[in-house]
Structure 1
Amino acid sequence: MRRLLDHFRSTRNLLAAASLVCFLACGCKQGAFQPPAGTAQSNVFQQQSTALNSQVQDLTRRVGQLDLNNADLHRQLAQADQLKQQYADQVSLLQKQLGDMASRLKETQTAKAEIDKQVQTLQASTRFRGGASIQANSSATNSLSTVQIPGIDVRQDGSVIRIELPADKLFVTGSLQPTLEAQRIIDEVATAIIRSYPRQRIVIEGHTDNAQAGNPAGAHLLAYNQSQAVFQQLVQRNSIPVRQLAIAAMGENHPLASNGTEQGRAKNRRIEIVVYPDTIDG
């Protein structure tokens, strides 16, 4: 670029010099020093004047082209500066996003540690101090019967009762935003618990599909947060005792159907209210 501008300046100087010579030649042609017409000196002078005029015209054309090139180069420089600023802005944005991702990762790791702690606490709560597992006696198992809740799948699973709530009926898929029917569904489940299982220990299990297969901590965090939302409504709105409830975030670890189809993934996205035969009274 600098060499081209220097060439542009030298060409302009040459053009100015040629113009001066042409002017002097023309002036001489009109003045007292003009050779007599028809002489050899007159013919040579005429040839030199014609050649000089041709050079001036050529230089004028070249200078015009250089003006165009110079304008184009300035435009390219302006575009380069604009691109440079855009790249700088993108780098700054990426750095900010990287910082935000690092913060979210740290929060996720903290949440996972808390979930693991709660799972360990839940597992510990199912054992006596001597280490033996709690086993429901036959009378307790026999007395624990299923309930009927319209539109809700309730099934016996060994010694426990599982009330299966499709997560898509409670939350906008993959989020914590409640649906319009979420409150009604949870209220109906709460009514059944208060009526049929007023003292039983209950675990709220959160399950997801494999949408976050590359981020198991994220799947557990979503499962935990959705279970926590159900827990809060059961306690705050329906007055179920806090000590009767516990939360377990299962993530994608216990699918009911194949995650290879949308129907299967929808089946796996669920909240299960698991009613145990043992009671909170011990």
Structure 2
Amino acid sequence: MRFLLAAAVLAAFFVTQHARAQENELDRAQSELSAAPSMAGVAVERRSRDELVVTMPSDITFDFNRAEVRGQFTPTLRTLARTLETNPSLHVQIVGHADAIGSDDYNQVLSERRAQSVGSRLMDFGIPYRRIEASGRGEWEPIASNATEYGRARNRRVEIRLTADKK
């Protein structure tokens, strides 16, 4: 009986330590990304204990109606890749978004292509494919009204969600 109790206490201890290490990586990533000059104009937000969201506005990431990453966005992605290299348990989920101009199908495909483009650039900087997920939400998750150009510009974005690996 004592053996089982001791084993349970040790297991709980190691699970807690593992969770703290993952949380510390998210804390470290948030600090690194928030302090980097190349991240100017990029929102870095802790949405939960287990998730850090980096929002890339369209004006620094893509030209209108395009999915190729703009050259001026390269230093931002390089900074993100360095942060991912120093925090190896973090998983990357890249989510592309679009405004409501154009058809639903077109915007869905465009948002997917944008997310894949960002993922490809992270892989160019050495981040393994297995750590990256890319998807698109089309025009279905707006953060502003699509009735104005300002609102549409805010809705054209890429969100990069960093989470601790669930191993």
The answer to whether the superposition gives a TM-score over 0.5 is: yes
Corresponding residue of 1:199 = 89
Aligned residue type for 2:20: S
TM superposition shift of 1:180: 3.0
- What's the counterpart of residue 219 of structure 1? 107
SS at match of 1:235: helix
Q: Aligned-pair RMSD on alpha carbons?
A: 1.9
Partner of 1:257: 144
Answer yes or no: is 1:165 the counterpart of 2:56: yes
Per-residue CA shift, 1:59-86, capped at 9, x if unaligned? Answer: xxxxxxxxxxxxxxxxxxxxxxxxxxxx
CA deviation after TM superposition for structure 1 residue 193, in Å: 2.0
1:183-218 superposed Cα distances (whole Å, 9 cap, x missing partner): 2221122122223x3221210110111112xx2111
Larger proportion of helix: 1
Is the CA contact (8 Å cut-off) linking 1:140 and 1:277 kept in structure 2?
no
Cross-structure match for 1:234: 122
Letter in 1 for 2:52: I
- Distance in 2 separating the partners of 1:142 and 1:185: 23
Task: Supply the distance in 2 between the matched residues of 1:265 and 1:171 (Cα, whole angstroms).
Answer: 14
Superposed CA deviations along residues 142-164 of structure 1, whole A, max 9, x for unmatched, are 43222314312100112310011
Which residue matches 2:20?
139
Gaps of 5+ in 1: 1-136
Name the larger-Rg structure.
1
TM-score (norm. length: structure 1): 0.46
| Structure 1 range deviating more: 161-170 or 238-247 | 161-170
Task: State the partner residue of 1:269.
Answer: 156
Q: Give the count of matched residue pairs.
A: 140
Distance 1:141 1:178 in 2: 30
Aligned mates of 1:142, 1:182 — CA distance in 2: 28
Higher-RCO chain (CA-CA 8 Å, sequence separation at least 6): 2
The equivalent of 1:174 in structure 2 is 65
C-alpha separation between the residues in 2 aligned to 1:193 and 1:176? Answer: 23
Name the counterpart of 1:90.
none
